[in-house]
Every structure is written in C-alpha cells, then in structure tokens.
Amino acid sequence: MPTYNYLSVPTYMQDKDEHLRQAANAINGLRDGKINSTGEVTLTNSSTTTTLTDARIGGDSIIFLMPVSSDSASENWYITGIGDGTATINHSSTTTTRTFKYAIFG
C-alpha cells in the first residue's frame, strides 16, 4: 500500500493552539480531496479474482475503481466479499495487465 503524506491529527495534545492548527490543516486537506483512502491494485493475471487487501476496508465500505489504461477500461468487474481489511474483485481471466486506482469510503 502506498504511503501518502496526508495529515493525521492526534486526538489530544498539550499545546491547544498547535492542536487546533493541525486540525485546521487536516480539515483543509480533506476539503481539497486529500482523503488518505486511495491506492492502486493490479488484477491477477490468469485468474478470475483478485484480493484487494487494505486495512481501511470494512464491512460497510464502498470501493470505487478507476481504470488507468485502455486494457483496464474494457474490463468487466464487480466486488464481493467485502470484510475487515479485504475485498474480492471478480473479473475475466486474461494475461493482459489491468491496473486500477481505488478509493475507499466508509
């Protein structure tokens, strides 16, 4: 999983002004689309399923995939088995590399 430099705010800090500044910066980042719930997945070749593993996935998550190549754009896929930390992407079996960027909500 890629590492991004999006701000994380501790729940408690002694310095209240610094805490407020960090919270404001994190909120402004969220407003600008820096949600820190994105990644990239490549479908498993010669298989009809790929397991997406990401600690941010939960049972109620919604996962959006965005193709990043023409081979990916023509792929038919659907997601099943969403649980704590994993989801199964169902797709066709081919030897063509198909890569997607994803976003997790919830």
Domain boundaries, the chain: 1-36, 38-105
Per the CB < 8 A criterion, the answer to whether 39 and 1 are in contact is yes
| pLDDT, position 97 | 93
Backbone φ and ψ of 69, nearest 5°: -155, 165
Looking at per-residue pLDDT, the higher value among 1 and 89 belongs to: 89
| pLDDT, position 35 | 81
How many other CB atoms are there within 10 angstroms of residue 72's CB atom?
20
- 71 membership: H or E segment, kind and range: helix 70-73
Instruction: Say what the pTM is.
Output: 0.79
| pLDDT, position 34 | 80
Once rounded to an integer, what is the mean pLDDT over residues 84-105? 96
Per the CB < 8 A criterion, the answer to whether 91 and 52 are in contact is no
How many other CB atoms are there within 10 angstroms of residue 41's CB atom?
20
Per the CB < 8 A criterion, the answer to whether 64 and 56 are in contact is no
